[in-house]
Structure 1
Amino acid sequence: MTTSADRGTIPRRALVGVFGGLFCGYVGLTAAIPVLPGFVRESFGATDFAIGLVVMATALTALLVRPVAGHLADRYGHRRVMQMGALIVAAGGALYFLPLGLAGLVADRLLLGVGEASLFTAGAVWTVSLAPHHRRGQLIGLYGVSMWGGISVGTFLGAALLPAGYGAVWGFSVAAALAGLLLISSVPGPSHAGQPSGGGGLLLRPALLPGAALALAAAGYAGLAAFVVLHLQARGIHSGVAVLSGFSAVYGGTRLVIGHLPDRLGPRRVAIWSGIGEAVGLLIIALAPNLPVAVFGGLVMGVGFSLLHPSLALMVMNLTDSSKQGAAIGAYTSFWDLGLAVWGPLIGVVATGFGYPAVFVVGAVCAAAAVAVALCVRQPSEQPAAAG
């Protein structure tokens, strides 16, 4: 049967279901984030460590489950695994209503991490399977915009619903995830994405170098998110949150406007320039004498960082057999979780020992290292362009 990808056209109705399902799933997943710290403190009198554990528990299981979810999507179909992810997110929201205690709440958050990993990973490879070959990188980027949009809307609406009580937030989380399930189910899916051909494990070789580059690039984002406001305050510059806002806006806007560049120019070439852009933006922030310069640095970093992930993901796809792309993209995405888990505390050590500007210098060095790693990834599809 001829598919839209074979014809070179974009199946817009199908992508509405996949992107919309991801968006709604992340709205449901993140609506609880802004209210969980207060809930844990009020309900259990918990320490800051316990609050951090509850909020971040999803990252642990997401890190471990992404390659497994991708493997299952390859074997049993992307639609089915994505539906399972949305169902788990809805079930996790419903479990908030039960008096499970602190340990039970942590277990529920771990379960939600399984749902997040299944939802995102299966949908990512499904998007690639629906996309024309020359638009894969662009659609991977837009898929990420759907995720970040869901996170932004979910956290905003969760905080807005808090005056109505925690139950309103939990109920909204369930409803949003079920809406995502309906959108996903509205898209016809192939019976199987393909049977895996042989072994190879879950951590596939094509994902290793691009994944390592992504983990290195995560250092800059971790530093920006955690310390840009404190860095600017130490210099007597207020409203440092404007740097984060500018970064976020240009991050999404870049993918909307020039998200086709990895397909058009080649993913390795764009990954190299993206890593350089991230490094330059971080150095500008490190040296910024005032807010406008710092905001400009955030914009430069945002443009570069925005196209880095889809470029590296496309490199993974180009090197992976179609029957194993789910496992490969799951393994690749896990490096982002790993990078944040490692760089979060390490960047804090750098800030304590060497000061806030060093945080951004280290991030820039790591971005440059990500470029060096990307240069080591051979992309056969780019050979003709290099020869010309």
Structure 2
Amino acid sequence: MEESRGTTKEMPQEKLWTKNFIVLTLCNLFLFMNLQMVLPALPSYVKDHFHASDVTASLVTTLFALSAIVSRLIAGQALQRGKRNLVLFLGICIALLATMGYYWCGTIAMFLLMRVLYGIGFGMASTTFPTMTSNVIPFKRMGEGMGYYGLSTSLAMSLGPTIGLALLASGFGGLVSGATFMVAIILPMLLLVAPLLRTPPQAAPATGHARKLFDRKLLVPCLLNFLLSIVYGGLLSFMALFGKEVGIANVGVFFLVNAVSVVLVRPLSGKIFDKKGHGALMFPGALLVILGLLILSFSKGLLLLSAAALIFGAGLGALQPSFQAWMIKVVTPEQRGMANGMYFNSIDLGVALGALLLGTVAMNTGYAMMYRLASVIMVVFLIVYIASLAGNKKKPLPIR
């Protein structure tokens, strides 16, 4: 049977924590730390330095995300043609130069151009790392492996803003230097996986499943990830400004507590996903996100802010890793690059739209009310998921 062929191949590779897996996971951590350190800090900087409106400040996030989406589509095709190393190193170098370029921007137009360039580089690198990682994880441990790998992204999403806002408080130059270091350190780290990089990547066949740009099985997890990312984009982009509105000096505490919550929940959610499927995580995860947003919107001090962060982080830690494992498991091995690209594109598109949409809402209602209204998006999330289950009562989580 087909299983025997897969079993003999997987036996010597059953170990998950190989050097390649660890190094690639750390590289991904540093890449996303670079992103998340500047993501909540830049809108605040742009408002103060360039006297920009909320909508203009939201373009700092929106233009980056849109350029990353386009970049990933192109990078995904290049990866399928076996251009892995070119895509990876070019992406890292562009992201590095654009990060350094923030400091020298004298106009808002030049600053936004740097964000577009950064999105191009980030899109290329962030598509390559998970595709390489999924190829060094034994198939039978794919859910567990991608769960741990994805923890690097969640950690960065939680710790990065805390560090970024702290560095911004000491000056914009400190923020740029710290963010530059995070992406620069990736280059020497890749020397540790030089044998892997020297192995020629397989180009996908010119026809068939491997060259599909999208698979219908990815539609529901993509849409759900997109809706969650709209909420997260608004939360991330305007947290510093929300703190000013309600008089909380150190809103970075939110991201620190959020990080602890994500770290505690994520390994558990990965095991629950492997045993019970995505249905066991979607409902509680969405409800926790809604509760976290509502508590956040009423926060006037660090106690409620920390409670909101703990609850929101638990929801985020349950949902996000489930989406990536779900998407990788429902496609063939040749389609993993496409699945990873769609996973990150749904995040970027959601963050881009969330910053723009919720920034417009905040301009008319204030940031506290904006977070309350954002919880309605998670209600839509639950409606979409319930509708998908009703429309597909067969197997909710096909393995192949």
Q: For each residue in 1:129-176, what CA deviation from the matched residue of structure 2 results, as whole angstroms up to 9, or x when unmatched? A: 322334333333333332455574684897699798899679746742
1:249 is matched with 260
Matched residues in 2 for 1:164 and 1:231: separation?
A: 23
SS of the residue corresponding to residue 122 of structure 1 reads helix
Alpha carbons of 1:362 and 1:203: their partners in 2 closer, same or farther (altered >3 Å)?
farther
Which amino acid is the alignment partner of residue 48 of structure 1?
A: A
Matched residues in 2 for 1:62 and 1:253: separation?
A: 30
Q: Is the 8 A contact 1:225 1:244 kept in 2?
A: no
Matched residues in 2 for 1:28 and 1:15: separation?
A: 20
SS of the residue corresponding to residue 313 of structure 2 reads helix
Q: Is the 8 A contact 1:288 1:294 kept in 2?
A: yes
Matched residues in 1 for 2:39 and 2:312: separation?
A: 26
Distance apart, 1:25 and its partner CA: 3.6
2:320 is matched with 309
Alpha carbons of 1:342 and 1:96: their partners in 2 closer, same or farther (altered >3 Å)?
closer
Matched residues in 1 for 2:60 and 2:135: separation?
A: 35
Q: Is the 8 A contact 1:281 1:298 kept in 2?
A: yes
Alpha carbons of 1:359 and 1:3: their partners in 2 closer, same or farther (altered >3 Å)?
farther
1:48 is matched with 52
* Larger CA deviation: 8-17 vs 172-181: 172-181
SS of the residue corresponding to residue 213 of structure 1 reads helix
SS of the residue corresponding to residue 331 of structure 2 reads coil
Q: For each residue in 1:212-248, what CA deviation from the matched residue of structure 2 results, as whole angstroms up to 9, or x when unmatched? A: 1112112432343355677687777775553343223
Identify which of 210, 213, 233 aligns with 1:202: 213
Alpha carbons of 1:365 and 1:90: their partners in 2 closer, same or farther (altered >3 Å)?
closer
Matched residues in 2 for 1:88 and 1:110: separation?
A: 11
Distance apart, 1:21 and its partner CA: 2.3
Q: Is the 8 A contact 2:58 2:359 kept in 1?
A: no
Identify which of 188, 192, 199 aligns with 1:179: 188
* Larger CA deviation: 146-155 vs 124-133: 146-155
Distance apart, 1:62 and its partner CA: 0.5
2:130 is matched with 124
Alpha carbons of 1:271 and 1:9: their partners in 2 closer, same or farther (altered >3 Å)?
farther
> Does residue 67 of structure 1 match 2:73?
yes
1:224 is matched with 235
Matched residues in 2 for 1:270 and 1:165: separation?
A: 39
Q: Is the 8 A contact 1:70 1:330 kept in 2?
A: yes
* Larger CA deviation: 186-195 vs 320-329: 186-195
Alpha carbons of 1:102 and 1:304: their partners in 2 closer, same or farther (altered >3 Å)?
closer
Distance apart, 1:13 and its partner CA: 0.8
Distance apart, 1:330 and its partner CA: 0.9
Q: Is the 8 A contact 1:210 1:312 kept in 2?
A: yes
Q: Is the 8 A contact 1:86 1:181 kept in 2?
A: no
Which amino acid is the alignment partner of residue 176 of structure 1?
A: I
Which amino acid is the alignment partner of residue 211 of structure 1?
A: C
Which amino acid is the alignment partner of residue 277 of structure 1?
A: L
> Does residue 333 of structure 1 match 2:337?
no
Q: Is the 8 A contact 1:219 1:343 kept in 2?
A: yes
1:191 is matched with 201
Alpha carbons of 1:187 and 1:158: their partners in 2 closer, same or farther (altered >3 Å)?
farther
For structure 1, the 5+ residue unaligned runs are: none
2:359 is matched with 348
Distance apart, 1:116 and its partner CA: 0.9
Identify which of 94, 97, 101 aligns with 1:88: 94
Alpha carbons of 1:147 and 1:235: their partners in 2 closer, same or farther (altered >3 Å)?
closer
Which amino acid is the alignment partner of residue 80 of structure 2?
A: D
Q: Is the 8 A contact 1:92 1:109 kept in 2?
A: yes
Q: CA RMSD in A?
A: 4.5
Q: Is the 8 A contact 2:92 2:125 kept in 1?
A: yes
Distance apart, 1:359 and its partner CA: 2.6
Identify which of 315, 331, 340 aligns with 1:320: 331
Alpha carbons of 1:8 and 1:171: their partners in 2 closer, same or farther (altered >3 Å)?
closer
> Does residue 10 of structure 1 match 2:21?
no
Matched residues in 2 for 1:37 and 1:296: separation?
A: 25
Matches within 5 A, 1:98-177: 106-147=112-153, 149=155, 152=159, 155=164, 172=181, 175-177=184-186
> Does residue 211 of structure 1 match 2:215?
no
> Does residue 365 of structure 1 match 2:376?
yes
Alpha carbons of 1:70 and 1:254: their partners in 2 closer, same or farther (altered >3 Å)?
farther
Matched residues in 2 for 1:352 and 1:15: separation?
A: 44
